[in-house]
Amino acid sequence: MSQRIVFHIDVNSAYLSWEAAYRIYHLGGCLDLRTIPSAIGGDMALRHGIILAKSLPAKKYKIRTGETLVEAKQKCPHLLIAPPNYGLYEQCSEAFINILRDYSPDVEQYSIDEAYVDMTGMQSLFGIPESAAKEIKDRIYRELGFTVNIGISNNKLLAKMASDFQKPDRVHTLYPEEIPEKMWPLPASDLFFVGRSTTKKLHTLGIHTIGELAHANPDILKNHLKKQGEVVWAFANGLDLSVVESGPIPNKGYGNSTTISWDVTDAQTAKLVLLALAETVATRIRKDKVKIEVISVGIRDYNLHYSSHQKVLGSATCITREIHKAACGLFDEFWDGTPIRHLGIHTGRVRDKDTMRQMDLFDMTDYTRLEIVDHTIDKIRRRYGNDSVLRAVFAAPIGIDHMSGGISREKRSVDYSKLKIG
């Protein structure tokens, strides 16, 4: 039986690399964003002013993903900020994944810029794993214009750890026998699933490296970190039994949220935002042919304080109107009038689309009709675009996108004629 071989492929500085490649190969630009202090960042006027991706030269100024544009500019005044173009990123991601599928039928897209590939038994076709990885890496650069790192091992965890070694444009191995030399000397914070909070707890236990974590007493870790203690101990020892999932994993819930361009101070406007969010959430639920039973509403106020409230519905639903009504009810129950910066709707308890509705003698709503109308609107929007049908309340310009949340309209495309392409 062939030894299990797993690749983890990670695009280097994905958003920025994709933007740089597009500007050079499609717009005729001469300036490579990857060679100067640059970043992909949101629009400060729309209160999305954070760093989404950065170049290696920008990293030298200690610019971090997630910090505000103001903070980044203070560190590097000449930092070039390019607007996000998620439509482009989705196309690049699809092209990247399609190349990987030429090498194995088992490809798991982990995120927009990461994927696992099960290469077990492929040696007869593509040679030893290191040679196959180099071929994939070079082909991606040759055909798509951006670089990737590839990690190779016998399981997903070690392959992912390997791909995070020296960047960019590298192939690294991390087989079980290489763990003591290559992984154990690293800081515990470098281990997958060890976040900032867990790192602090480990430090209080005198654990600073992955090796120290691997040799720690599992019972002590469990006492301090609960179930996560067992998980990080196993990871530190290179143990991972998960398989490469080539098919999409069913959603456990659906949600969307949006940052509003101004502080909302009245319930009527807030409920319009919730309606726009309900439109996008319900559309995704119907697309996957499921229903949901739990709805949660989240509010982040102008002081960035977050609070949420949820309820269990009497019957599973996929109807926009029903989701919006429940969201508004939750909103009325817990909003205290503090100006709102950010709103979200999240759902859970996913059920099959054929789940029966609990009948109520006193409820005369024709739910079947509402569901048919929603499905009809979905079909029209898929064929003619999201703006082909909108509710009358959004017909007048009110500053709220009628299908809000997720990737906002202004981030889906960029008018490059208004930009200076070097």
Which residues carry out catalysis?
114
- Which is nearest to 21 in space by CA: 148, 132, 115, 111? 148
Integer CA distances (angstroms), 247 to 105, 106, 115, 151, in order: 10, 8, 12, 21
Q: Which tokens belong to 296?
A: 């949660």
Residue whose tokens read 């039928």: 105
Strand segments (E) across 212-339 = 255-264, 290-301, 306-317
Distance CA 176, CA 164 (A): 16
Beta-carbon-side half-sphere exposure of residue 268 (alpha carbons within 13 Å): 3
405: closest CA among 280, 299, 300, 284?
Answer: 280
Q: How far apart are CA 32 and CA 184, in angstroms?
A: 36
Q: Specify which residues 292 forms β-bridges with.
A: 317, 350
CB atoms within 10 A of CB 240: 20
Helix, strand or coil, per DSSP, at residue 86: helix
The phi, psi pair for 295, rounded to 5°, reads -125, 135
283 near 405, Cβ under 8 Å?
Answer: no
Instruction: Assess contact for 239 and 179: CB atoms under 8 A.
Output: no
Burial-class residue 333 by CB neighbours within 10 Å (0-12, 13-18, 19+): exposed
Rounded distance between C-alpha atoms, residue 76 and residue 56, angstroms: 13
Amino acid letter at 409? Answer: R
DSSP code string of 37-76 = SEEEE--GGGT--BEEEE-HHHHTTT--TTSBHHHHHHH-
- Cα separation, 346 vs 293, in Å, equals 11
